[in-house]
Structure formats: structure tokens, C-alpha cells
Structure 1
């Protein structure tokens, strides 16, 4: 994935800059490296969940994000707290960006 370090640097330096974390379930190692880099840079709260559609669906992408720490159980590779990952998945991205929800009805 090109420009990950540069993107995370920009996100960390500017209050109103966010990054889309588009997940590709077939690229677990790539996802792992991006999430670890974001965690180490301290910008997990500025990542917006993306399903990777049409290359993946939301369920597969959530499983990929929540599952990669389990793959590392018997290794000494760094992990990311599950709570930090869940926050990316569950947060209200529209609210984070200051966008009002459309009224239904």
C-alpha cells in the first residue's frame, strides 16, 4: 500500500485530517501492517472504517480487522488492542467529521 507512512504523518499533524482504512480481506498482512503503524503513530482515533466494496463486504472486513491479532498469538509480533480496533469499526464516522445525519421519515 503506497504512502501509508506519509498519510499517517499527515493525520497525526493535522486536527481535521482523517484517513480511510479500507480493508481488503485477501490482504490480511497488509491490513495488519497499516493498523500497527497507525497504532504506533497514535492515530487510531482518526481512522475511518471502509469495507473495501466491491472487493469485500462489511462482515468480511470486520472479521479481518478483529481476527489478525489471533493469527499472531504464538509470535512476538506487535498487536493492537482489540478495543482500539473496535472503536474504528463502531464509531459514528459522520459525527466525527461533523456531518449531520439526515432525518428519516
Structure 2
């Protein structure tokens, strides 16, 4: 019975990695301005201590909320104040969106 626990742990970890494999994000912040990349909608990322939720990504733009704000749709090349932060979408490629956040 002692062997069952490690095997189950490895299987559970493998399932989590498999489920999360389609979504990823990265960010780089300098002097309060962050460059963020999110691959896959339905993610919440913490940027400068603010929870930013990307709920939809399409060719028309991304739908995002920040700090508990109402969702806003921002087109590529456009910017908007979303809750406590300012967001400008710089590019969208399929389900990958890049944006700047202040």
C-alpha cells in the first residue's frame, strides 16, 4: 500500500500538467510598465499585485477585467483603463495575446 500513494501522486501531477499545458503566460515589468503575454483565454494572472483576467481572445481583441472590474474588450493597437490599470493590446495571434499594462 505504501507504493500506491507515490504512483497516485505522479498520475495526479501528470493530469494537472496535461490540463494546464494549453495555457501559459509570461510577464516582464520595468518601472511599473509590464509587457504581458497570455496564451489561452480563461486565465487570471497577477501583474503588479493586480489580478488580471483574460476571459476571451479573438481577432477583434481581448476581453479583460482587472482588480474585480467589469470586463472590457480592447482591440489590437487600442488601450483602455480597466479597473485600476491601463492596458494596451499590442498583438493577437490565434489564442496568444500580448499587452502592456501600467
Provide TM-score, normalisation by structure 2.
0.28
Bigger helix share: 1
Bigger strand share: 2
Larger relative contact order, structure 1 or 2 (CA cutoff 8 Å, min sep 6): 1
Provide TM-score, normalisation by structure 1.
0.28
